[in-house]
Each structure stands twice: as structure tokens, then as C-alpha cells.
Structure 1
Amino acid sequence: YKFLLVDEFQDTDPLQAEIVFFLSEQERGRAKEWREVQVSPKRLFLVGDPKQSIYRFRRADIEMYEEAKKWMGESRLLNISQNFRCAPSIVRMVNRIFQDLIKPPEDGRYQPGYVPLHFGRKKGTIPSKHGIVLLYPPKNKNIVMERTDDCRLWESRCIASFIQKLVSEEKWRVWDDSDPSFRPIMFKDIAILMRTYTPLNRLEEALRSYAVDYRVVGGKYFYKREEVRHLLAVLQAIDNPNDKIALVAALRSPFFGISDEELFMFYARGGNLNYLEEAQGTAMEQPFHLLRELHEMRNGASVEALLKKLYEATSGLILFLLKPQGEQRVANLMKIGDVARALDERGMLSFRGFVQWLSERREEEAEEEEPPTLERGDNFVRLLTIHRAKGLEFPMVILADLAHKENGREDFIIDRSGERIAIKVGDKRSRFWTRNYEEMSKWEEKRGEAEERRLLYVGMTRARDFLVLPVYWVKEEKGEKQVPPKSYLANVQPYLTAPDKVSFGEWNEEMMFYDTNKLELEPEETPPFRSPLNPEMKGGKASKGVLSQREKWREGQEALKKWAGEGRPLASATEGVSEVEKDDEWVVSPVAKGEGAVFGKLIHRLFEKMDWSQPGMVEKMAEMEGKALGATGPMIERAGEMVREAMNSPVLQRIIKSGEYQREVPFSYKENGTIFEGVMDVVFKEGDNLVVLDFKTDFVEKENLNSKVEHYKPQVRIYSDAIKTIFGKPPKEVILFFLHLMESESVPSRSLNS
């Protein structure tokens, strides 16, 4: 390499540093370790900010960075201190705090010297009001903070209420680079940063209560999510019909939506909570039927295919999409299918094995990230850790949970430069440790505290216009705020006004003491109503009134559902066909309701996904798609043979030769107040005309072919009308390709009008 430029060098670990230096070594260099490398002149260029060295847990050690800097030569060091992100008030406050917090220690190189920032943001992009916003607890006797969880509860409510009020009032303005201009602050301009995801549950509860749209970026609680819990209950019920607890949880989940009242009435009338039995005429009829069907197919189809059928039959994905954070919920459910497919491809798990594996992951509280759903322009508040936010910026940053930090010492300590280790094992009653553990524990504590200060620096410098600090949300003893030592709050406390001296609503030295007394910190919740079983008893009159109101509400809900269910008149392309395609050769029950349904789906999917110009992969693709659909081995083999034979047929060669064709073409058009919709298998162009082709997997005798064509004419007519409505003239013809016979029948458009 002639030149080697390494950015973010403070994030490199020793192994990466070795690679960098050896790649930069002078020709014919023979150094045995990187510290002995003679770097070729003008070859290596390192860029890094030691104040942002926060990845010690993955061996990105600040001491290695400082050693490399020394080895490169202090005379070659160039300091770049301009900050193009933060408003000037934030820059000044950051300098004021961290010139005291970030200093080189006397006993090592585990903290760099602080290089003050200089404001360098473009003129005209700074809002008239900007800077540090402090959220102190209001003077409210109802706010009692006796436990850490109480502190997080009230702080989270304060943050959520503050955001909602801020966005709804549209008074605070931020600079929008995409416009470019000032505009009112929106949800998407706000990021809530935290040291770890520990306070996440309380924050999510509060944001939901105050109707603040949000997304968690990189959360580790995927298996604890509500939608995953509901899905696990359904899978457990499918696996074991005798698991009554799982069955009840499944029935009460959004997948089936059975109410407690419906469950009680079903059981009280002698119903048996066993979906292997019929439940005709009850609310359990359809749920039991589907669960029974899924139970029967669980060992014959892939988990992915079973999940797909569950989602389609219950409209589960649509229901979860309508809930708060619906897109994230749906992404989480789809991820379960992706995980199942990955495990299935490795041949690792049966259906029962997958259910047990998923259950264990949830019980063990295994850490797993949620799939990302954010896209450019989405209007959501972002929740993420400071580590996740590194390299990002936001118009407003809220640093949550400043008063708390993780407790406990490391059990395994490594000093790589000194080539030492220290170990502690056991619990409080019986512990064992190496002789040097206490000494190295203090050594580790100093370095950990130094990195915590750098982490706080990174969090504060993510803010462009506003940095919001919720402060003093801590326990009290004898009227005194108990600020945990070595917490972030303890680090910034010397620069804050004491809680009893705050002038709410005023700006003071570029800080605003936001008036939290004007925030609603107790979201309204309707208490549950308890009614005596006998309405004639005391309180019966009130009970009758409430029950009457509930009955009216239920009637209104049913009327609304009925009205919504009617919708607009809608017809599908196959609605006029009296029978669904059947294939007497293939009987795949209980995998599918009708005969040949899976085989037909497999054929259509192969034609849709394969490259028609290269049919050589058809057998392999048939195996993959067939397994996902739950097809049998002979079905998969026959599907591959049939599609390969069809690709060589005159009609498909005609389509390929045309060079202009589209597969799986959706359409929708309106005629006489009715909306017609469907999907055409193939539409291709010949000259100035369009031609439609539809694959048919019916098993039909040659002598019955003409009657079969007549049978499908209503569907053909809709295809023809769709093309005419959309393009202004009808297709030249609609071709029905009967695959079992390898026969194609053309239906000219003019014949449809006769």
C-alpha cells in the first residue's frame, strides 16, 4: 500500500493495530511486534478522538491508542478541535464540564488530556433558543421515589410528557438540513440515549401512555417482547393439545382474540378446553379448527410454513400492525420465521424442538436485537444506548437514567499490556479469588470510571440544538437527594443548581430550567369497576347502570364491525368460477384444506421466482420452495419435472422470444360500483398487442378440455376487461395453459363479447 488511512483509530483493538502497523512497515522490515515497526515515511495516517474511546469491552483500549500515538511521535500530532455539530451553548457547557472530568492520571495512560472544542457550525443554522434543558422533579407530593424503579417510573413519565407537549405546541424550532430551514421540532428529531437498556421498559410504558411514537434501535429484549410471548403460547398449544395454560393464553392472544367472558361462558356451558374436539356453534369453533389443523401439519411442514398459515388464517400480522409500534411488532414476528428457516436449513430442529428452543431463549432472557424498521423520513423518537449513538447526531438528545449505573465488580480482569489476570468465583457465602484480585480490581475500577466519563462525553456531544438532562430523579432521605456516587449525575452535579433553588421556566447561563410543574405526570387511567354478582345487593343500582352502558357499547361495537366488514363491493378474478382448481393426482391433506392446493401453489411459485432464460435450477428451487410450503417428496419431484417440461413448450418459448413479459401482474379496476382485483400469471407483448397467460394445474382429461375452458371463461373475461380498462384496449387473447396435459388453449377477446 502506498498510503494507509485509518479513521476512528481509538476504536481499534491490539490485533487490528498490529495489522495496521505491519502493513505500514518499511520495505525489508523484519519487526517481530508492532512496537518495533519502522513505519515508512508518509505512509500511515491515523485519525482518532481519544475522548470517544468507549469500546474497552471489545479490547479497544485507550492505553494502546496512547502508546501508538507516542510511537508515531508527538511531533507528528495534529489537534483538530472544531465541532461542526453542537450549538455554541452546548460546546461551552461540554468544555466546562469535561476539562475537569477528563484529565491524564499520574499512574497510567488510561485517560487522555482534554482538548477543548471550538464552535464551527455554519452560520444561520442555530435556532434562536438552544442549549441545555434541565428537567428537575416538580413540586408534587404525589411523586414518591423510595426505590430505584420509582425513580425510573417518574423520570420516564416526565420525559414522555415533555416530548408530547414540546411536539404538540410546535414552539421549539430546529434546523432541518434537508430543507434547509428552521421548522418546529418533531418526534424524529429526538433521541433518548441511555447507558444500558435497563430503563427501557419504563420508558416504553411512559411513551405509549403519552402517545409518543418511538422505535428502539438495537434493543436486546427481542424474546421478551409481547408479540413474541403471544406467538410462543400459540406454538406451545399447537405442539401439546393437553397444555391448558398455553391453550388459554393462545386463545386470549391477538391471534384469536377470545375474551375472558367468552372463555368463561364456553367452560360454564360444559365446553372442554381441548381443540382436538369439535366446538360447533361456539366462539371456539374456528380457533379450535385452526389449532387442530396446525397440530396435524406440525411434523409434515416446516415451521416457517406453519407460521405463514397461522398469520394468514388469523390476520395476525394485520392486527399487530394496528397496535402501537405495529411495524416493529410485525418485524419481530417475521424474524421468528427467519430464525425458524435458518435452523431448519441446518437440519437442527423438529417443530417440538423449535418450540422448546424458543421457550428456553425467553426463560433465559437471552439477549437478541430486534430487526430494524426505521427508514428515512419516519417520524419516531429513537431509543438507543450511547454506544449505539456513537457517530450519530440528533437535533435534541435526552440523556435518561443519569442517576444510576450498573453495580458490581468484574469477576475476570485482564491486563493485556502487563500480561496479568485476576479471577473471582463463587457467591457471597463462598468466594474464591486470586491473590492479586483486590489490587487488580482497583486497577480495573479506575479504568472503568475513566471510560464512563468518556461515555458521558459521547452522549452529550450527540446533540445539535438541545441537550436535555433529567436530573435529581433520585431517592430522598430526610429531605436530602441521594445522588449515587460515580453516576453520571454525580459527575455533572457540581455544575447544576440545587433542586431547592431552581427558578422553573427560566434560562440561566444558557441553561433552561423547564417548568415540569406544567407537565401531566399521571396519565389518566380508568379504574376497574367491580360489580356484585347479585344486582339487588348494595351497589346494585350503579352496577346496573354500568352494565347497561357496557351492553350499549358492545352493541355499538358489533354494529361498527358489521358496517366495516361490508366495505365496498369487491370481487376476485376467480369468483365466477364454481370450483377451485383440483388435482386428483395429489392428495396433501392435512397440509392443505383442498386437494392439490399446495401443489398448485408450488407450481405458481416456481414460475414466479425462477429465471426463465436459465431453467437449470428448477429442481433445486422446487426442493426449497416445496419444503417451505409443506409439499411431499413426490410432489416436489413432479413439480420440478412439470415446470421444466413447460419451459420447453411452444407457448412459453413464444413468451421468452417476445422479450417483453411480466410475471405475477396484480390488477384492480372498478366496474358498475364493484372493484375487481386479482393477479395475472403472465402478461407479454407481441407487436402492439398484449397477451395474458394463466397456468392451470387441474387434472383434466383431454376429451374434457373444451368444457374446462368454458368453465374458466368468467375468469378469462375479468382478465380481458382488466387489460381493456387499464390500457384502453383488450388483449389479443387470453391463454389457458393446462400443465398436466401440456396443452394451451387460446381464448380470443372478441369471443368473450359474443
Structure 2
Amino acid sequence: ADTAVLVPTRTGLRHVLPALEDRNIPYRLESRSLVYDTREIRDLLNLLRAIDDPTDQIALVAALRSPAFACADDDLHRWRQARGDWDYRRPIPRSVAEDDPVADSMRWLNELASRRWQLSVSEVVGLCIRERRLMELAVAERQPRESWARYRFLHDQARAFCDGGGSTLGEFLAWAVHQAEADTQVIESVVPEEDHDAVRIMTVHAAKGLEFPIVIFSGLNTQPRSDPPWLLWGADGRPEVRLGADLMTPGFSELREREDKLQRDEYVRRNYVAATRARDHLIVSLYRKSGRQCDAQLIAEALQASAAPCRILKHNQIPEPPAIEAAPEPEPDQETWTDRQEWMAQRADAVRRLSALPHESATGVAKLAAGKSAPPERQPNHEPDPDLPPWRRGRAGTAIGRATHAVLQVVDLRHSDESEIRQAARAQAAAESLSGPAADAVRRLAMRATHSHVVRQAVEANRYWRELYAAVEVDGVLLDGFIDLLYELPNGNLVVVDYKTDALQPGESVVAAAERYRLQAAAYALILQESLHRTVERCILLFLEPDEAVEIVNLPEAIAEVRTTLANSTQPGVLSRPTA
């Protein structure tokens, strides 16, 4: 995650992505236009085009050859030899077997195409992903998480299209093409998966405001667009038109020269933005064809004419990457039916044993220690109530607190945009039936959190996780909880951050309030240390009212106290609470 590859446009990735895949280097695409150009999105859009237009034979054949249907070329050849049409509305030839993969695919397409008028666009996209098992098939890919993220991305785009008033599948496909255009002025960034340690790939536009220890600037060998405009507007608002090579209005040539200069200046600014994203190392690919006027040529000439502190390597001077020995292939699984049955029995026994354990939450530990919670009778622990709406599961506290936590779970912490926070706060406040001052409090608390030095430290650490559920068995008790924010220090140790959205009690100091929550934070640390075998170095309580952070003092002692509290809770007559 310390390395970023920046490209001016998605055409610069034509050779980069295959090279990364050949060397098994994990990567993730973090720009909207780049995601639209991936195989998964292209295949899914072809499938949607085939559903929308039965006469689009190119889209139909492309969809049949995609993983969604996995029809091989010989399958398609047999279908054609049997006089099958490339139109799923036509009858299937009688000579084609019932279980023929092409015939089966045609039937599925015909059925969904006939139903699409009763479904929203997002429902059609969701059905394609779910019924064609695209998420499951992605497990066979080298980077399944990237494939999953791309399918979820297009599904989210379909929802956004519907929320914006879009209605038909054809409109969505045209909208998707527009969103994918390299020069479209849309929000470029795609929220990354924060725990995915991989090379980050994005356009220069999406990298604005970001910095990385190592930046590789590639794709500079493409020539600027050579197609001249046919309409330009002067400063006085009058249009100047070009109708042919030598046929144009009098002021067109002057405006064309001005536009070309502005475009060159824009390229220079873009390259400056890319170069200044690097904190420690900047690597610029100057590969280009001889005599081609492109940014790579201009940068190479500028470096040769200046005394810039850089090292220029020819192609044959670039060192070969170190050889990595491939992991030995695992021996074929010789599992028998008896082995499988034994494993199933062991699994069922483990599920019964863990389900019967007394349960305590991190929040409940603090209440037990303070004597404010009367433990009820021992009962098996259960899953959270499935009837609760998604934003309520795992969250306790006040409606304002739940809404604030929900906002901090979804907004981009790296670029805390006020409009994004305001929009998310409005949605979460509505979900909790909050309005007026209460709804405004959600926005205010979320803004305080995103601008706090504690959250900024977590973001700068690069590896951080939000709303992380964790559980572990501690001395015969199942201890669990939701960690608001967790990040990793350079030495590999962990830091727990717990948001506190409730106001202090009358006359209570921040120090006294921190003492109330001391064992709750220590319980999170105990869960992580027992389950991950990693050191939790710090636990920080971030009070958003009155905007102050307090670190737990003597964390090992607090963790030991949590163990003692749990041990006492299992004594006869002192049993912990089950999960509701």
C-alpha cells in the first residue's frame, strides 16, 4: 500500500496490469474510469446489453464467452452448425441437446429479458451477479477481492442511477459509457478496501490531495488528441466554426491556438500534480517511440537540459527484479467420505460448545466491574436479531450515537469532504428518525471526529479498519465487541480508537468519564491480542463532546482487570448475560 501507480488515462494500463499479474503482485484500482475498463465490468455490461437489445449479436456472443455462461468456442460452433440463431428469442433447434450450454444460456437470457420491464435496473444487475454466480466464480481469479469489489461497484452505480431518476436499462448503459469516459468530469475516486495490502493504481485526477511513499508515473508515451474541435467560443460569446480543413470562420485559427496552449498548460499541471504525490521516491516511465511528441519526450528533454537530482536508466540498465521461488504445489487432497463426515462432526461439536458459552460484550465488562449490571441466568448465546435494520445491528447507545457511528463507518476518512459528511449525516439521521438540532448534532460530531488528530494519525498510518467485529473465548467466556477504529503502527503493533458520542454527566470531568470506559477499551485490546496474537500498544477514547482524546494509562493492568472480571462472572451465582 506504500506504492502507487499513477496514469494520465486508462490507456496507460494496457501493459502495466498484465505485468503485475504475471509476477503475482496484488493491486487494486482506485479510479472510476479504470474500474469501468476491467474485464469483469466489460463482461457484465455486455451481458446487460444483450438483455436490453436482443439484436446486439456482438454483445450476446461476448456475454456467452464470459465467465457468466462459460460457453467455449466449440460450443458456439456446434450451436451455429445446428443453425442456431444469435437471438435468444428464436426457438432452440431440435437437434441441440437439452443440456447444451448455449441453449441453457439462451433460455436464461430470454427469461430475464422478458422480466426486465417489471424490475428496476439495480434489480436486473443484482440478478445477473447473483444467478450467474459471478461472486462465487471470482474465487478462481488471482485477486478475487478485486473482482468482488468491481461487481459491487457496478451494482452500486446501478442503485445511484435509479436514485437519480433513471428508469430503463438502455439509459443506464448509455450513462455507464458516459461515466467511463476518460475526460468526463465526475468524481474519480473509488473508496478502497482499507485492509487490502496492494499496489494502488489510479488516475492522476483521482490522486489529487494524496501522498505516497513511492510513486510510479506511467503512461506518458501517448500523443495528445489530434482531432481538432469544430466549434469554439470567443471571449465575446461569439462562436467560431471549422467546417473543413480550409473552411472556417475568420477568428477560428486564433481561438484554436489559444485552446492548444491552454491544453498544453493543463498537461503540465497534471504532470506536476503526479510528480508531487511522491514523498520519498518518484519513478517516471519515459518509454516512448523515437520521434513521438509526447509528455515522456518533453520530460526527458527537460531532465537532460537541467541539473535535476535524478538517475536516468536506459532499458537495458533497469535491474531485473529478484527471483521469487514459487510455493510448492500442495499434494492432491485425498479426503475420503469418512474424513468428511468426521470433519462435519467436529465442526458441529465446536459450534455447540461455543454456542453454549456464557457471553459478555466489551461494554458489559465495564458495567459488571462497576456492579451496575445484574447478570441473569446462563443461556446459550445467539446471533444478533435479524429483524433489526442493518444500521442498528451491533450498535447500542443513543440514536445520535448510532447515527454518528454509521456516518463515520461510510465516509472517506482520508478526504473528509464536508458535503459528503453532511449528506451521510442527513441519511443516517433520517434512519434514526432524528430531525432539527438532533440531526445537526450528528453532522457536528462526525465532523469533529474526521478532523481530530487521532483519526488523522490512523489515516496517515495507511492500514486502518473501521467498525470491526471481533470475538474470542477468554477463560470459558465468549467476549466480543465492535471496534470503531483500529490502525497499525509502523512497528506492527495495533491502536484501538473508540468514539464516545454521549455528553459527559453533570459535573463529570473527561478523566472521570474515561475511567468509566477504561475496561471497555481494555476488553477490545484483550480480544485482539488473544485472537490475533498481536500487541495492542494503545487504546484511545475519543470524546466528541467536548472534543477531547484520552489514552488508557497502564493498558496491561487494565487488560488483567478484564480477565479478573470475566473469571468472577463465571463463579456460581454470577453468570454473564447472553447475547440478545
Identify the TM-score tier after normalising by the shorter chain.
0.3 to 0.5
The two structures have a TM-score, normalised by structure 1, of 0.37
Largest Rg, 1 or 2: 1
